[in-house]
Amino acid sequence: MAQSTIRKTDSNRRDKPRLRSLIAATILYNNGQSTLDCVIRNLSEDGAKLAVPAEIALPDRFELAIPQRNKLYRAAMVWRRADEVGISLEDPCATSDEPASDAVLRRRVRALEAEIAQLKSRIVQLTQG
């Protein structure tokens, strides 16, 4: 007799069920200097599937800000296929009482201010040389 094999689906491999969603989020990496907007396609207490552009390289670990839920998580990439990324979520990051969206904006402003300073310096170099 031939043994039949049952292939587990993604949902059977998870400890907790994921709920389908369509939530805007932001991936932060390089110590908050780099950000990438993404969409959470499904979500559970300890993981998520994100829609991100396939051509964007991501680090194995990053922070995920979910402004709608006022949460900022540490995340680790578990798998990647084309424009989808499966991640595990760790406990929410220890932050002050400020909303996650404020933390994201503050980091982004700092990154942009540093970039502006570099560009101004380069303009001076080019116009004086």
Tell whether the model's pLDDT for residue 96 goes beyond 70: no
Structure tokens at 51: 């829609």
Say if residue 3's pLDDT is above 70. no
For the chain, list the domains and their CATH numbers.
10-128 (2.40.10.220)
The pTM of this model reads: 0.63
- Helix (H), strand (E) at residue 103: helix 100-128
Q: According to the per-residue pLDDT averaged within each range, which of 90-94, 105-109, 122-126 is highest?
A: 122-126
Q: Tell me: the pLDDT tens digits for 42-90?
A: 998 889 999 999 999 999 999 999 988 888 899 999 999 999 999 999 8
Residue with tokens 């994201």: 104
